[in-house]
Amino acid sequence: MREVWQVSLAVSCIKLLLIPSYHSTDFEVHRNWLAITFSRPIEQWYYEKTSEWTLDYPPFFAWFEHFLAKVAYYFDRDMLNVENLNYASEATVLFQRLSVIVTDFILVLAVKNNCLLPLTLSHIHFQYNGFMFGILIWSMTCMLQDQFIWSALWFAVLLNFKHIYLYIAPAYFIYLLRNYCFKATGGSLQWSSFSPFRLITLGFVVIYVFALSFGPFIYLKQVPQVLSRLFPFKRGLCHAYWAPNFWALYNFVDKTLTILGSRLHLTTGTPSAVMTGGLVQEFHHVVLPSVPPVVTLLATVTSILVAMYYLWSKSKGPEDFVRAVVLCAFGSYLFGWHVHEKAILIIILPLCLLVFNKREDASIFLILSTTGHYSIFPLLFTSAETTTKILLMLAYSVFAFSSLGYIYKSNWSWQSLPLLNSLESLYIVGLIPLEVWNSAIFPFLDFSEKFPFLPLMLTSVYCSFGIIYSWIKFYKITLFDKKLKSQ
C-alpha cells in the first residue's frame, strides 16, 4: 500500500511541474463558478449569467466550489469577483492547480485497495475529474465487494456532482435490481425472492442523496431552472471538434460523398461550409440524412439493450456489472448527441478495473486507452504543450504496454506490440505518422490556412476506427467468451 502513496506522490510532483502550463477555458469556467458560489446567494447560483460559462453541474458540485472558494479567498480575493471575467493572476492559477492535485488524492484513496496500474494510468488527466473518478471507482469497488447500498450511495453522490454519469446509470439500475432486490442471485430469476424491503431501502438511500442535493432548490422552487441549466440543448450533432464516435464517421462519409458528388456534378449547390469550415458546430448533412437528437437517443438505447439484457439474465457476478458499465459508457459515447471527447475517459477508467482479469480485456484496454488518449490531443494545441503531451503519451504507452505485456508474458516483436496482433499493432503505430503529419508537416504547408480543420478531422476519423473496433471486440468477449465464466 505504501507504494500506492509513493506513486501518487510522484505523479503529483509531475502535476506540480505542470502548473505553469497552458490552461484551457475550463480554467475560466471554474474561476467563474468559484466567484458565483462565493459572492452570490444560493438563490442566484443557477440564474447568474454575467459570464457565458453558467453553472451547469448539479448542486453537489456547486457546494464543492463554494467550499473551495473559502480557501481561494486567501490566495487571491479578486478571482472571486464575478465581474472579473478571464481573471488569471498567478495566485489564481496556483490555487486552481493545487486544488486539483489535492482533490485528486481522493482518487488515491479509492484505488489504494486496488492495483497500482489503474492509479498511474488515470492520474494523468486534469480538471476536477480526478476526485470524481475516485468516487466512481469507489462506488464500483463497493459493488465488486457486494456492498450494494454503499455502491448506490456513492453513485448517487457522483450523479449529483456531474450528471454526465447518467450514461452508466442503466447498468447500476439493472444490476442492483437483479442482484440486490432479488435475493437469489445467479441462475434463472426466482420471482419469489423479490424483496420489497430491499427495493425500498435502495430507493430511500438514493432519494435521500438527491434530496440533500436539490433540497434547497426545491424549497426555492427553482428545480426547473436548475434542470434547464443542467440539460441545455446543445446545438450540433457533434462538438466543434468531432469526438471520435460513430457520428464523426457519419460526418466524414457525408463530406466525402459531397465532395465526390460536386466533382462529378451529381449534387447541386454545395453549402459553403463543407470544404472550408469545419469548426462550425451545426453541421448540415448534405448527402446523408440529417440526424436529429431523438435518433441519437434511439441509437444509444439500442446499443446498450443487448448488454442490459445480458446483465439481467446471464450475469454471474459483479465483474459483469463492470462490463455493463463499460458497455453503457461505450454506447453513449459512440452514439450520443454532442459528445465531448473527454467522455472517452468514462469508458477507459472502469475498463482499468478489468485489466488484470483477462488477456483480451488487457488487449482492448491498450488499444482503447492509446487511441483514446491520442484523441484528446487536439484539446492541447499550443506549441509548448505539444511536446508535453507527446512525451507524456509516449512514456505512458510504453509503460502500459510493457507492464501488461510482462504480466501476460507477451513481448515486443517486430511484427506486433505486446498483447496485440499485427493489424492492431499497425493501427497503433500508425498514430505516430499521423501525429507527425498533424504537428510537424501540415502547419507548414501552403493550404493549411484554407483547411484548418483537416488535422482535427483526420485525428477524429482515425481514432473512431480504433474506438469502434474496441467496442465490438469488447461486446463480443462479454457475450460469447465461455472462458470468462470458468475463471
Partner 1 sequence: MYKSGYVVALLVAVLARWLVSLHKYSGAGNSPMYGDFEAQRHWMEITYHLPPQQWYFNSTNNNLLYWGLDYPPLTAYHSWLCGFVANKINPSWVALKESHGHESYAHKLFMRYTVILADVSIFFPAVVLFFAQQKLQLQDKVKMSLVVLMYPGFILIDHGHFQYNCVSLGFALFGVVWICRGFHLWGSICFSLALNYKQMELYHALPFFCYLLGWCLQKWSRIPQLFKIAVTVISTFLVCWLPFLRSKEMVLQVLNRVFPLARGLYEDKVANVWCSLSVLIKLKQMFTVDQLVFICLLSTLVCLLPSSLHLLCFPTTRNFKISLVNSSLVFFLFSFHVHEKSILIPALAVSLLVHDYPFWCVWFYFISTFSMLPLFVKDDLVMAAVATTVLHALICKACLNISSTKDDQLWDRAKTTLLKLSMIGAVLLTVASLILTPPPRYPDLFPVLVSIYSCAHFVLFLAAFHYFQFQSPSQSANVKKVQ
The pair phi, psi for residue 181, each rounded to 5°, is -70, -30
Distance in angstroms (rounded) separating the CA atoms of residues 380 and 441? 18
| Shorter beta-carbon distance to partner 1: residue 66 or 125 | 125
Distance in angstroms (rounded) separating the CA atoms of residues 283 and 471? 26
Nearest distance, CB of residue 270 and partner 1, angstroms: 37
Q: Which three cell numbers stand for residue 80?
A: 472571486
Nearest distance, CB of residue 442 and partner 1, angstroms: 18
| Shorter beta-carbon distance to partner 1: residue 6 or 448 | 6
| Shorter beta-carbon distance to partner 1: residue 18 or 227 | 18
Nearest distance, CB of residue 10 and partner 1, angstroms: 5
Nearest distance, CB of residue 418 and partner 1, angstroms: 9
Q: Which three cell numbers stand for residue 452?
A: 484548418
| Shorter beta-carbon distance to partner 1: residue 132 or 419 | 419
**Rg of the chain, C-alpha, whole Å:** 23
Q: Is 304 within 8 Å of 207 (Cβ atoms)? A: no
Q: Which residues pair with 382 in a beta bridge?
A: none
| Shorter beta-carbon distance to partner 1: residue 395 or 472 | 395
Within 8 A by CB and 6+ apart from 296, the residues are: 237, 247, 335, 336, 337
Kindly tell me the burial class for residue 265, based on how many C-beta atoms sit within 10 Å of its own C-beta (0-12, 13-18, 19 or more).
exposed
Nearest distance, CB of residue 6 and partner 1, angstroms: 5
Alpha-carbon dihedral of residues 355, 361, 366, 369, nearest 10 degrees?
A: -80
Binding site for partner 1 (CB under 8 A): 6, 9-10, 13-14, 16-21, 383-384, 387-388, 391-392, 394-395, 398-399, 401-402, 405-406, 412
Distance in angstroms (rounded) separating the CA atoms of residues 15 and 349? 19
Nearest distance, CB of residue 65 and partner 1, angstroms: 24
Distance in angstroms (rounded) separating the CA atoms of residues 436 and 374? 13
| Shorter beta-carbon distance to partner 1: residue 328 or 419 | 419
Nearest distance, CB of residue 385 and partner 1, angstroms: 9
| Shorter beta-carbon distance to partner 1: residue 10 or 280 | 10
Query: Is the CA virtual torsion 38, 39, 43, 48 positive or negative?
Result: negative
